[in-house]
Structure 1
């Protein structure tokens, strides 16, 4: 087995709020959301191949190799750049699928940024983000690596600096279908647009939460349990729910009480992703 020559994190994200403004003609939804990263995530290792093959050596249950966003990102970058190089990739997966914390999108962004360096492409962040958008609406924010107020389908990003508390994230053992939530007839789709300042002052509603709570009692239960200790919120379309704490000790204390019956983790909020901090230290 070849030795990895580059190992990079793929951090989780939270949606600190999520407002849905309307449905577009193409079926996508106009939204406003505030992204923040967590110092917690998957880990990818890369080793360059000379034969042009893209090989992900970690199997993900129910996700065929060629359908994995990591493989799709690598092949798309290879095709668009004209690179003759390939790559071996290993994934250490800790982020849940269907959790609303960006696991697949983050893995794809880490792949794009990692291969940009390994294949010596010298693509700009703008170009990588535009390529990432074709893979998923959340990929660009991971490519750029800065907390941001997002508009459009999530691709129009304005850097922001919300507070960076400690979070307890609970992971109900259910995978929520984003498409199912966004197609629900009871989903709120007419929230008036806001400026970012009211968000930072506490306008933190998630328009998807009522629909997810109604469809997934496991998520509703997690929100109710965490809500006894702090304001509990849904991230994205779930299934993960989170609450902020002023310090790690307090987050750990509540985690110890709740994770006997629920899976969860404690992580620090960060306005610069740990992926970008790692890249800055390396290059």
Structure 2
């Protein structure tokens, strides 16, 4: 971090994996009730924030297919700016936001949500807004159910629509992740008549006591996604030859846990050329938590 009073550079927005994802029911408002374990990994986008001399909030990096006005980064920044105004009576200075974008859209790795969470954490620091972690989580929830997890900032057993979080331990391992080259729209998966919505509830000790937690449970969304998007099914089948392979989130990325970086490299060397693939290590904590601990 540099120029703390005017800028925050190199703020990570790490990806997440859903080690399992069960759909347990559906609320009257249409939202699905879920259980999952979110795992942060050390692969993600990088954001840079620089104060302006006015109050405008601008994303100065072009992202094809993502208009600035609808980007979760700008929407999150506006929410926090409005909250600071409400609390202090003064509108904080505007910000230029740059993003080094590597996480795929529609990949199930939480790219947009992680970017929004990093924006809330960074601007809370840059503006000296003083919101607590819990207040930032509540502020981000209306924008996306995954955003509170990234602010929570550690491996979490999640319930409800994904916002009820408890810290949980998971293996210290590496992951091989394949991007099958398709963007899976979340609404199409959750809206499918073929989606299983009655998986029995589990509890946090069921996950914690499992001898190989990376293989616990299943992803209820995978069956729907693999039928609608054959490249996802192909990636699951291929990676399954090297371990327990499954889709993360509503897709499209597919992952498998391996014990060491060398194991990950060995699998990556064999990945067919039509796919983008990468390795990542499990993270115990969001990289910004330690840097901003005095403010969160």
TM-score with structure 1 setting the length: 0.96
2:223 is the alignment partner of 1:210 = yes
CA deviation string 1:61-88 (max 9, x = no partner)? 1111110000000011101221331101
Contact 1:14 1:35 in 2 (8 A): yes
CA deviation string 1:193-225 (max 9, x = no partner)? 111122231432111111111111000000011
Q: Which residue of 2 aligns with 1:270?
A: 283
Contact 1:11 1:275 in 2 (8 A): no
Contact 2:132 2:295 in 1 (8 A): no
Equivalent-residue separation in structure 1 for 2:81 and 2:158 (angstroms):
28
Q: Which residue of 2 aligns with 1:191?
A: 199
Of 28, 33, 42 in structure 2, the residue corresponding to residue 30 of structure 1 is 33
Q: SS in structure 2 opposite 1:184?
A: coil
2:44 is the alignment partner of 1:41 = yes
Q: 5+ unaligned residues in a row in structure 1: which ranges?
A: none
2:249 is the alignment partner of 1:236 = yes
Equivalent-residue separation in structure 2 for 1:7 and 1:261 (angstroms):
31
2:129 is the alignment partner of 1:116 = no
Equivalent-residue separation in structure 2 for 1:218 and 1:281 (angstroms):
45
Equivalent-residue separation in structure 2 for 1:164 and 1:176 (angstroms):
29
2:262 is the alignment partner of 1:249 = yes
Contact 1:50 1:84 in 2 (8 A): no
Equivalent-residue separation in structure 2 for 1:282 and 1:172 (angstroms):
39
Of 68, 71, 75 in structure 1, the residue corresponding to residue 71 of structure 2 is 68
Contact 1:17 1:199 in 2 (8 A): no
Q: Which residue of 1 aligns with 2:233?
A: 220
2:19 is the alignment partner of 1:16 = yes
TM-score with structure 2 setting the length: 0.92
CA deviation string 1:145-204 (max 9, x = no partner)? 011000000000011111121000000110001111000001000111111122231432
Number of residue equivalences: 282
Residue 55 and residue 249 in structure 1: after superposition, are their counterparts in 2 closer, same or farther (change >3 A)?
same
Q: 5+ unaligned residues in a row in structure 2: which ranges?
A: 86-90
Equivalent runs, 1:52-201 vs 2, <5 Å: 52-82=55-85, 83-200=91-208, 201=210
Which stretches of structure 1, 4 residues or longer, exceed 6 Å deviation after superposition?
A: none
Equivalent-residue separation in structure 2 for 1:9 and 1:261 (angstroms):
28
- 1:277, distance to aligned residue in structure 2 (A): 3.9
Q: Which residue of 1 aligns with 2:88?
A: none
Contact 2:125 2:295 in 1 (8 A): no
Equivalent-residue separation in structure 2 for 1:81 and 1:259 (angstroms):
49
- 1:282, distance to aligned residue in structure 2 (A): 10
Q: SS in structure 2 opposite 1:121?
A: coil
Equivalent-residue separation in structure 2 for 1:204 and 1:273 (angstroms):
25
